[in-house]
Amino acid sequence: YRPLSASEQINFLKKIRLYIQQQKYDEAVSLCKTLINLALEGLSYYHTYDRLFLGLSIAVGFVGWTTYVILVIIKAHTNLTKAVPTNKKKSTVLFYGFVAVGIIIAFFLLIQTCPWTYYVYCLLPVPVWYAVVKEIPVIQDLAANIWSLHIGQSIGFFLVCVLGVEILVFSFFYRSALTVGLLVFAGWPVTTQLWIQAKTKAMLWTLLCVLLAIFPLMPVVGREPNIPLVIAAGLLTLLVSFFSLASLCKSENKYRDNEDLKVYFYQMFSVALSTYVVSSTHSSLKIKQGLPVMNQIISWVTLVSSPVLLLLSPTFLFERLFSILLSVMSTYLLLSTGYEALFPLALFGLMFVWINMEQEALQHYGLSLKPKLAVFNFTCAVDITQFRQLHLDDVRRSFFFVFFIVTAFFGTGNIASINSFDPASVYCFLTVFSPFMMGGLLLLKVAIPFVLVSCAFEAVQVTTQLSSKSLFLIVLVISDMMALHFFFLVKDYGSWLDIGTSISHYVLVMSLTIFMMVMNGLAQLLTTQRLGLPRRTKHHS
C-alpha cells in the first residue's frame, strides 16, 4: 500500500514527534488523524486486495452458466435450431485447449500460494465455458435465425427482459417497484388480442392488478393492529364462497358428486369460526383477560384440520383451487392483525383470472385443443408426448410466476419486518413467549401466499401443456440474472442491518430456484392428491 509504505510510516512518526516537541499540538493531532485514516484505508486495501479478481472470476462463471442454460433451453425445448453433427477433431482440440487454460490458472494460483477456495472460484468457469463454446454451431444457427427476424422486435424483447429483471431487483429495496410492475401487467391485455378476444376477463385482470398494486404502497405489517379489517377479510371470503358455491351447484358437471359439496360447507364454517376467534381473542386481550382456552383449542384444531379438509375436496381445477383458498384463509386469518388479511384474497383473485387469461392466450398459437377448465381434473396424467415446444409467451409466463412469487413475499412486508415481527400475529395460538413456536407460525404465514401462487401456476403449467423442466430452466435464468446483480450489491460496511440485509437478498435469490422446486412439489401434492373416505351405500329392497 504505497500511501503508507515503511518509509512513509517513519516520516509520519518523525513529523508527529517533532510537532509535539515544538508544542504544535493542533498540527500533531491533525497529522495523527491523517495517519489513522491512512491505516484504515490500508487495512481495507489488504482485506479487499483480491476482490476484483475473485469478483470477475465469479461473474464470468455466472455469465457462462446462464448462457449454457439458455442454450439448453433453445436446443432441447424450442424449434429455433436444427440438429448439427459434432466434429470430433474440433471437439478434441477444444477440450485440450480448455485443459491448458485450467493448468495455467492453477499454476498462477500455486505461485501466489492462494487458499484452496481460490482454486474453486477460478477453475469452475473453465468447464462451464467449455460446455458453452462446444455449442458454437447452435449459437451460429440461432444467430442466423435471429437475423432473419425483425431486428427491432428482437432488441425490444431483450430490453423488456432486462427491464423486467431490474424491476424485480428494485423490489427488494423499494416495495413500490412491485406497484410499478403490477400496473405494467394491468396493461398487458391491451397490447395483445386478448382485449378484443376476452374483454370481460381482460377488464377483470386489469382491475385486480390495480387492486393488488395498492398493497406494496401500504405501511409494513405489524405497526398497528387493525382487527376490523381482519373481520372484513373473513366476511368477504365467506361472501365469495357463497357466490362460488352457487355457481358450482348450477354448473352441470356429470363427474361431480354432490356429497363433495359438504366439504366446502365445513371449510366455510372453519373460516367463519376463525373470524370469530380473531375478534374474540383480541377483545379479550384488550380488557386484560388473556387468551381464552376455547379460542386457543379452536385455533390449533383449525391449523391441523385445514390441510385434511383440503385433501377431501374434488380434484377438478376450480373446485380444488377454491378449496385451497378456503383452507389457507382459515389459518391466515388467525395469524393476521391488519390489512394483510385481505392480501391472499386479492392475490387469489388475480391468480384465478390469470389461469383463464393464459387459456385465451393459447389460441394465439393455434392450440385449439385446449382443455375445458370447468371439467379439467388435476389427477388426469398428462402424456409427456403432449408437452409442446416453448414459445416467447412461455418466457412471459415464467416471468409472471417469478414476479408473483416476489410479490407474495414483499407484498405486505420486507426483510426487516420479518426479522422483527409483531408477536400480536400469533396471539390466537399462544401468548407465552416461545421463539421456536412463534417463528414456525410466522414462517407458515409467510408461506401461505406462496402456496396460492404455486398452485395457480401448477394449473397454468398443466392446462397449457408446458413441461416443468423447461419452466424451471427459464426461472433459473431469471434468478441467476438477479443473483449477479445482488452479488455486486453485497455490502461489508455500514450498519449490521445493511450488511445482513444485502447478504439476505443474495442468499434469497440464489435459493429462489430450489425454493420454487419445493413449492412446485407441494403444489402438485395439494392439487392432485385426494383422501378417500368410505361412502354410505344405499340398500334397496
Quick one: how far is CA 258 from the chain centroid? Answer: 37
- Indicate whether 199 belongs to any domain: yes
Residues of the chain with pLDDT under 50: 368, 385, 537-541
- Which residues 6+ apart lie within 8 Å of 183 measured at CB? 209, 210, 213
- How many separate domains does the chain show? 2
Q: Give 377's strand partners.
A: 316
Looking at the domain assignment, is residue 536 inside a domain?
no
271 domain-assigned: yes
Q: How far apart are CA 452 and CA 447, in angstroms?
A: 9
Q: Are residues 80 and 223 in the same domain?
A: no
Check whether residue 377 and residue 413 sit in a common domain. Answer: yes
Residues 265 and 403 in one domain: yes
User: Is there a single domain that holds both residue 71 and residue 180?
Assistant: no
Cα–Cα distance for residue pair 293/299, rounded to 1 Å: 10
How distant is the alpha carbon of residue 12 from its chain centre?
54
Residues 123 and 167 in one domain: no
Q: Domain for residue 460, yes or no? A: yes
Residue 182 lies in a domain: yes
Domain stop point among 148, 180, 214? 148
| DSSP helix/strand/coil, 377 | strand
Classify residue 538: in a domain, yes or no: no
The answer to whether position 130 is within a domain reads yes
What is the C-alpha separation between 436 and 429, in angstroms, rounded?
13
Is 205 contained in some domain?
yes
Rounded Cα distance, 482 and 165, in Å: 7
What are the b/e assignments for 468-482, b being 16+ CB within 10 Å? bebbbbbbbbbbbbb
User: Same domain, yes or no, for 116 and 183?
Assistant: no
Final residue of a domain: which of 87, 122, 148? 148
Are 252 and 297 in the same domain? yes
Residue appearing with cell numbers 387468551: 291
Amino acid found at 315: T
Measured distance CA(505)–CA(490) in Å, rounded: 8
As a whole number of angstroms, the distance between CA 8 and CA 211 comes to: 64
User: Domain boundary at 116, 148, 180, which?
Assistant: 148
Residue 256 is predicted with a pLDDT of 58
Residues 251 and 164 occupy one common structural domain: yes
Which residues sit opposite 316 in a β-bridge?
A: 377
- For 504, the domain range is 159-528
